[in-house]
Amino acid sequence: MNATHETVQRDEAGIRLLREQAAQAAHHSYAPYSRYHVGAAVLLEDGRIVTGCNVENVSYRLSVCAEQAAIARAVSEFGAHIRIVAVAVANSDSDLACQPCGACRQTIAEFADASCRIFYPSDGGKPGECTLADLLPASFSQESLH
Ligand code: THU
């Protein structure tokens, strides 16, 4: 059975909820090795929010990032046609910065346009915002294959 997902507008209240959902998701994180608990929430173009958290493994390189978990869940539940319009990332330590890692940027790009908004804790935990284009300029994309 599918989980229920919050549906929001793309306004400031919706973005606040997106950030809150990312912070909530961080509480489910399994990070016994790094102790860096990350949550992510992706906002789909129809307003649905899907969350994920990082899931580490004793064989470290098998660890899954929160953004990738959220995106895999969104595709699993709603199908390959999903489009992501915004992503929020949070960690359980509000003082630490947490921008999506390089692999997550590429994973987001698979399902988002360059204008996709990215929300993250910046220096000192202050709310940061940028676009996917800021994080992944000159990206390798499907157009690159043709
Ligand atoms: N992590 C994420 O979940 N997302 C990111 O974008 C950066 C890193 C996780 C991976 C690992 O479990 C922990 O944070 C420390 O790197």
CA distance 36 to 84: 25
For residues 94-123, average pLDDT: 96
Ligand 1 pocket, residue 63 CB under 6 Å: yes
Reported as a pLDDT band with limits 50, 70 and 90, residue 82 is very high
Give the C-alpha separation, 2 to 89, whole Å.
Answer: 23
**pLDDT confidence of residue 122:** 95
Q: How far is the CA of 146 from the centre of ligand 1 (A)?
A: 32
69 has pLDDT over 80:
yes
**Ligand 1 atom index nearest CA of 69:** 3
In angstroms, the CA 18 to CA 9 distance is: 10
Average pLDDT across the chain, whole number: 95
Is it the case that residue 1 has pLDDT exceeding 60?
A: no
Cβ(21) – ligand 1 distance below 6 Å: no
Measured by CA distance, the residue closest to atom 10 of ligand 1 is 65
Catalytic residues: 67
Tokens of 20: 């809150």
Best of 38, 63, 87, 93 for a ligand 1 pocket test (most atoms within 8 Å of beta carbon): 38
Q: Tell me which DSSP letter residue 73 carries.
A: H
* 12-136 CATH: 3.40.140.10
Antiparallel, parallel or unpaired: β 49-53 and 84-91: unpaired
**Does 31 sit in the ligand 1 pocket, CB within 6 Å?**
yes
* Ligand 1 pocket member 57 (CB < 6 A): no
User: What pLDDT score does 146 carry?
Assistant: 87
Residue spans of the domains in the chain: they are 12-136
